[in-house]
A and B are shown apart, each in its own frame.
Chain A
Amino acid sequence: MKNLIKLSSLLLFFIAFVSCSDDDENTTAEFTVTAISAESGAVGTEITITGTNFPSNTSDINLTFGGANATITSVTSTQIVTTVPSGATTGSVTVVVDGVTKNVTTDFTVLSDLVSARAENIFAPQTGGQGTQEEASGPFTKFSFATGAVTDSDTEWDIAFRGLTIIVNGGTTTGTNDEPERNGNSGAAIEEGIFSEITDTSGIEFAQDANGELAIPTGSNNGWYNYNFMTTTVTPIPGKILIFRTHDGKFAKIEILSYYKDAPSDITQEVAENDFRYYTFNYVYNPNEGETSLAN
């Protein structure tokens, strides 16, 4: 109650002051900041700040994200639209109008950019297996989304390839030869669609490898590929997007483009017989803890 009185009297005083000191059109009440459209975002993310009595001229507003000046895209009396500026750091978002400074009540977290890249010719050799008399064996080729490369690490890997088999660093042993120890929390799911249209992992259920059962099933038309007996070629099934949770709980999506060296658009007999087990895939990786967005 005391506060209210204080605040009201301050307001009254202020209004009186403003009306006395300024006799031209600048008779607007003092602005307020009420909300921000997101509490986190990477550089370039569009952000809307809502409030009241914003001036109509963008040049009258000084907006900073953790000290870095942001460019205002548009403004109305209740909305400022901007993007997270480069150089922004996690901290308060500040709006300054006519020397009056107001902070958005919650701190803004600046996220790392999503990584959108292509992994080329990830070689996944295998000995034995289909067409031979022996069981499939040989070490898996491990891949880390954080580094975007093949890794030898026993722990910092997310998925691994051997021939047509893809395993995840999560779950239990499946019973195949030479599989690496799973000590992470990786999981996988197969979604249908266009790569760019899959923008978020919330709601997706992830499977992990288990005894005799892979999170990404093998076999023609079962998981990610089709195998053509006639031409002995492996084709990634169009529209199958693999979504992964990494060993440390982050998210990534991949689209396998080719199983052949240098991803040729035409798989000749020679390529089919000699240059197989080379994965080329596009991927998007979100390096931010707990962030489900995969919009690239």
Chain B
Amino acid sequence: MSLNKNNILFYFLIYVSISVCAQEGRKEEKDSILTENLDEVVVTATRTIRQLSSLPLPVTLIGKEQLQQTGVTRLDQILNEQTGIIMTPDATIGGGEGVQIQGIASDYVLILIDGVPVVGRSSGNLDLSRFAIGNIKQIEIVKGPSSSLFGSEALGGVINIITEKPTSENISGQVSHRAATFNDQNTNLSLNQRFDKIGYSVFADRLSTDGFDLAPSDEGQTVNPFYNYTFNGRFFADITENLDVFVSGRYFFQEFDVQPSTSEEKDANVLLRINHDASKKTNLQYEFYYTNYTTDEQVIDPIDDQLLIANDFDQKLFRPEIRFNHSFNPNNTLTIGAGYNFENLNRSLFSETITFNSQYVFAQYDFKPLEKLNIIAGARFDNHSEYNSQLSPKISAKYDVTSNFSIKGSVGSGFKAPDFRQLYLDFTNAAGGGYSVFGKEVEATGIQRLQENDEIATLQVDPSQLGQSLDAESSIGYNLGFTYKKGALSSEVNFFRNDFENLIDTRILAAKTNGQNVFGYINRESVYTQGAEIDIKYTISKNLNLSAGYQLLYAFDKEKEEAFENGDVFGRNQETLETVRLQREDYFGLENRSRHTLNFKAFYEIPEWDINANLRVVYRSRFGLADRNGNNLLDELDNSFVDGYALVNLAFGKTFLEHYSLQLGVNNLLDFKGTNPLAAQDSEVLINPGIQLFTRLNIQF
């Protein structure tokens, strides 16, 4: 592996130097595709710079102003206020939160920082509160599958966090401190400076909290006290007029206070990007990215100091990538890219360190066959060492019917590689009753081992099926949208449908002699999510902006729908306890999906007083957490529904003496707490910790 890495590095360097030599002396004239001359531009949708309103895809952009005025400091807080995006609590009590886009769970949403992927998912979920948003220029969210550009995991959407670039020769930056309920203390510092040829940017952030408890009668807290640090240093250099270099290093460290146990998390990433304008029309980007995510978790019995569980996780990814952009003219751009993923994971629940290798190529052509028609067509091929290769095509188009009204549509496919856990987990839960879980690659040997120890009572699957390789989970996403803009009003309606195939589910492989089961993984489920999103923005005056969003969502499992049609779904009458046959209308759909979600935002400014205020409301309708009557689906007879609720957030800001701004705010003004229906009788478990106040002082310099 290291040999390969060196080779590729070597060739890249040779190639870079040749290109640099060849292009020497070329006169400055910035390439059209990389010129940022418009206010709202995004890079995630096409991997080239594109004006937001011109894109044929559903894209949400959260700008710096919104980030600042709302007073939020972590990524999860701001995403929840966007149309079609909600943060959902984990179904199990005390779990984390996951982002859901168009009804698609967080496992299928790719998170990027400056275009490179973040790794480190504990059981599929990526904790978004890990990401401080102090030095962020904007957050871009592309909904629907984008695997044609980004590969695995980009099924439901891509969230790209774009950091700020220094622009001024004077040192600029800010220091801020935010204090909030639960002794939440968040301090950050950022510094930026830009000279003629070089620039740098430094960011440091510290967050600590006492955490909170949603289940007061249970031992321990839902969120334990923790502190974390984020450091980010970036360096920009224009080597020549046509060649610039960007280097970024980010380090995140978090430790939970769970004495005498320990729980630590580290996330480090390094990015080197060389951008070379080989000609007026041609641009090349060379990217080297390394990331390492580790957790170190030890659960120690507080009484006898015995180590109960040690769960270490150490994931590394190294990824060189090259991209080539060529503009035949300002409206026709070809993008070609190739890369190599070297990935490995060492986890205490795996028998050995696992290595994945994958190679990929992608191409995209962005063109305008007619003056009013823009088409973007692309495809990506991923070749993987552990599962079947994937081809992910995508096509999208936008047609401007009038200057105010356009139609846009896209069809694309996405995939998610089976994760390490689904392939290599070898786990027997001694504390939880002795059940076992095996990843696909180790299930045959695992079962054999248990059989030799006489632990298997009955095998529930055909032995020849053991170890048959898993396919990647895949989806096809359809989006059809209409945008209308006139004067102060801009509105957008988007209809979506996402069909998922081959979702990986657990199944029982065998019954053990201790009465427990052995679980394995299998490609089984086919689900779909469909619905519509409506977004309306209205600028009442220069100082008052209103926006509202709504999402209608239907998310169901196709096989279960079929079982309903066949009359094969049963429930239990809650009074008589007798079995009743359930009808299709009793099927609520996938867990944790709300049929209706709404948001409303009002941002108000009084420039003469240097005051701003905003009100944001998010609502989600009733949703269910889990099957409780044993038929393996969520139906109206399951006692696991959370009633619809609204969260109201308010923030006020005032700037003094130009540089000092003070913010006061309330999140969850109505003090909504809710009750978790899965809580055991006589002990209440909350959905939300309730009202949270904050104040923030920011010094800009």
Asked if B681 is an interface residue, CB under 8 A from chain A, the answer is yes
In the complex, whether B458 has a CB less than 8 A from a CB of chain A is: yes
User: Total A-B residue pairs with C-beta atoms closer than 8 Å?
Assistant: 100
Return chain B residues, CB-CB under 8 Å to A225.
630
Are A235 and B630 in contact, with the CB atoms below 8 A? yes
**Residue A53 interfacial (CB < 8 Å):** no
**Cβ of B621 under 8 Å from chain A:** no
Q: Which B residues are CB-close (under 8 A) to A238?
A: 570-572, 579-580, 629-631
Is the beta-carbon distance between B575 and A220 smaller than 8 angstroms? no
B93 at the A interface (CB under 8 A): yes
Q: Are A263 and B579 neighbours in the complex by a CB distance under 8 Å?
A: no
Contact between chains at A255 and B630 (CB < 8 Å): no
Contacts of B24 in A (CB 8 A): none
Contact A269 B680 (CB under 8 A): yes
Query: Please, what's the 1-or-0 string for B565-592, where 1 marks a CB less than 8 Å from any CB in chain A?
Result: 0001111101111111100000000000
Answer yes or no: A168 CB below 8 A from chain B CBs: no
- Contact at B578–A282, with CB atoms within 8 Å? yes
Of residues 256 through 284 on chain A, the ones whose CB sits less than 8 Å from some CB of chain B are 257-258, 263, 265-266, 268-270, 272, 280, 282
Which residues 21-73 of A sit at the B interface, judged by CB distance below 8 A? none
B678: which of A131, A230, A258 is its contact (CB, 8 Å)?
A230
Chain B nearest Cβ from A280, distance in angstroms? 8
Residues of A within 8 A of B25 (CB): none
- Asked if B92 is an interface residue, CB under 8 A from chain A, the answer is yes
Q: Is B508 an interface residue (CB 8 A)?
A: yes
Contact of A195 among B458, B568, B574, B579 (CB under 8 A): B579
Say whether A265 contacts B575, CB under 8 Å. Answer: yes
Within residues 611 to 650 of chain B, which ones have a CB less than 8 A from any CB in chain A?
Answer: 628-632, 639
Q: Which of A205-238 contact B (CB under 8 A)?
A: 212-213, 217-222, 225-226, 228-231, 235-238
Q: Which one of A212, A230, A257 lies within 8 Å of B577 (CB-CB)?
A: A257
Q: Which stretch, B348-356, B495-503, B510-518, touches the partner chain A?
A: B510-518
CA–CA, A112 and B446, complex, Å: 54
A112 to chain B, nearest CB (A): 25
B683 contacts the other chain (CB 8 A): yes
Q: Is the CB of B630 within 8 A of A236?
A: yes
- The verdict on B433 contacting chain A, using a C-beta distance below 8 Å, is yes
CA distance A68 to B630 in the complex (A): 50
Q: Is the CB of A239 within 8 A of B570?
A: yes
Is B458 a contact partner of A230 (Cβ separation < 8 A)? no
Q: Is the CB of B517 within 8 A of A213?
A: no
The reply on A129 being an interface residue by CB < 8 A is yes
Quick check: B457 and A213 within 8 Å, CB to CB? yes
The one of A193, A258, A266 in contact with B681, judged by C-beta atoms closer than 8 angstroms, is A266
Which chain A residues have a beta carbon within 8 Å of chain B's beta carbons? Answer: 129-131, 136, 164, 192-195, 212-213, 217-222, 225-226, 228-231, 235-239, 241, 255, 257-258, 263, 265-266, 268-270, 272, 280, 282
B682 within 8 Å of A (CB atoms):
yes
- Complex Cα distance A97/B287, Å? 104
Write out the residue numbers on chain B whose beta carbons fall within 8 Å of the beta carbon of A266. 639, 681
Q: Can you name the residue of chain B whose Cβ is closest to the Cβ of A131?
A: B433
Interface of A is mostly: loop
**A219 and B515 form a contact (CB under 8 A):** yes
A255 to B579, CA, bound (A): 8
In the complex, chain A residues whose CB is within 8 Å of the CB of B514: 130
Contact partners of B576 in chain A: CB under 8 A = 257
Q: Whole-angstrom distance from the CB of B682 to the nearest CB of chain A?
A: 6
From A131, A194, A217, A263, contact of B458 by CB (8 A): A217
Closest to A218 in B: B515
Contact with A along B660-701 (1 / 0, CB 8 A): 000000000000000000101111000000000000000000
Could you say which of A221, A228, A239 has the most chain B C-beta atoms within 10 Å of its C-beta?
A: A239
Residue pair A231, B678 in contact (C-beta under 8 Å): yes
A-B contact pairs, 29 of them (CB 8 A): A192-B568, A192-B570, A194-B570, A194-B579, A195-B578, A195-B579, A212-B457, A212-B458, A218-B511, A219-B515, A219-B517, A220-B517, A221-B508, A221-B517, A221-B632, A222-B508, A229-B433, A231-B678, A235-B628, A238-B579, A238-B629, A238-B631, A239-B579, A255-B579, A266-B639, A268-B682, A269-B680, A269-B682, A282-B578
In whole Å, how far is B505's beta carbon from the nearest beta carbon of chain A? 13
**Contacting residue for A230 out of B92, B457, B517, B683, CB 8 A:** B92
Does B487 count as interface, using CB distance less than 8 angstroms?
Answer: no
Nearest to B93 among chain A residues (CB) is: A230
Tell me if A222 and B578 are in contact (CB < 8 A).
no
Q: A239-B579, A255-B579 are in contact. Are A219 and B682 (CB under 8 A)?
A: no
CA distance A123 to B516 in the complex (A): 22
What is the CB-to-nearest-CB distance from A49 to chain B, in angstroms, rounded to a whole number?
Answer: 36
User: B460 on the interface (CB 8 Å rule)?
Assistant: yes
Q: Which of B457, B515, B580, B628 contacts A130 (CB 8 A)?
A: B515
CA distance A172 to B518 in the complex (A): 25
| A241 surroundings in chain B (CB, below 8 A) | 579
Q: Does B432 contact A (CB under 8 A)?
A: yes
Q: How far is the CB of B599 from chain A (nearest CB, A)?
A: 31
Q: Report yes or no: A164 in contact with B515, Cβ–Cβ below 8 A.
A: yes
User: Given the complex, which residues of B lie within 8 Å of A130, measured CB to CB?
Assistant: 433-434, 514-516
Docked complex Cα distance between A280 and B572 (Å)? 14
User: Hey, which chain A residues are within 8 Å of B93, CB to CB?
Assistant: 230
The CB with the most chain A CB atoms within 10 A, among B93, B432, B433, B511, is that of B511
Query: In the assembly, what is the distance between CA of A231 and CA of B629, in Å?
Result: 12
Nearest neighbor of B456 in chain A, beta-carbon distance: A212
Which residues of B, 508-543, contact A by the 8 Å Cβ criterion? 508, 511-517
Within 8 A of A (CB), among B456-485: 457-458, 460
Q: Interface majority SS on B: helix, strand, loop or mixed?
A: loop
Query: Which residues of the partner chain A approach B572 to less than 8 Å between Cβ atoms?
Result: 235-236, 238
**A194–B581 touching, CB < 8 Å:** yes
* B629 proximity list for chain A (CB < 8 A): 235, 238
- Chain A's closest residue to B627 (CB) is A226
Residue in B closest to A255 when the chains form the complex, CB atoms: B579
The smallest C-beta distance from A232 to any residue of chain B, in angstroms, reads 9
List, in ascending order, chain A residues with CB within 8 A of B680's CB. 231, 268-269, 272
The CA of A272 and the CA of B681, in the complex, are separated in Å by 10
Q: Whole-angstrom distance between the alpha carbons of A229 and B569 in the complex? A: 23
- Write the nearest CB–CB distance from A193 to chain B, whole angstroms: 8
Complex Cα gap A269–B218 (Å):
13
Residue ID in chain B nearest A210 by CB atoms: B458
Q: Closest residue of chain A to B577, judged by CB?
A: A257
Of all chain A residues, the one with the shortest Cβ separation from B454 is: A212
A235-B628, A238-B570 are known contacts; what are 8 more A-B pairs with Cβ within 8 Å? A129-B515, A194-B570, A194-B581, A212-B457, A219-B515, A236-B630, A265-B574, A270-B681
Q: Which residues of A contact B92 (CB under 8 A)?
A: 230
Closest beta carbon of chain B to A2's beta carbon, Å: 62
Q: Given the complex of chains A and B, what is the CA–CA distance between A236 and B571 in angstroms?
A: 10
Question: Is A229 a contact of B516 with CB atoms below 8 Å?
Answer: no
CB-CB under 8 A from B580, the residues of chain A are 194, 238
> Which residue from chain A places its CB closest to the CB of B681 in the assembled complex?
A268
Would you call B511 and A257 a contact (CB within 8 A)? no
- Residues on the A chain within 8 Å of B512, using CB: 219
- Contacting pair B678 A229 (CB below 8 A): no
Instruction: Find out whether the CB atom of B577 lies under 8 angstroms from the CB atom of A258.
Output: yes
Residue of A nearest to B570 (CB): A239
- Residues from chain A with a CB closer than 8 A to the CB of B513 are 212
Closest 4 CB pairs of A and B: A239-B570, A268-B681, A238-B570, A226-B630
Residue of B nearest to A241 (CB): B579
CB distance from A262 to the nearest CB of B (A): 11
Q: Tell me the nearest residue of chain A to B678, going by C-beta.
A: A230
Closest to A225 in B: B630
Residues from chain A with a CB closer than 8 A to the CB of B515 are: 129-130, 136, 164, 218-219
A268 / chain B contacts, CB cutoff of 8 Å: 680-682
Interchain nearest-CB distance for B559 vs A (Å): 15
Cα separation A236 to B578 with both chains bound (whole Å): 10
State in angstroms the CA–CA spacing of A219 and B519 once bound together: 12
Residue numbers in B under 8 Å from A269 (CB-CB) = 680-683
A272 to B682, CA, bound (A): 13
Give the CA-CA distance A237 to B678 in the complex, in Å: 18
With the chains together, A54 CA to B433 CA distance in Å?
Answer: 72
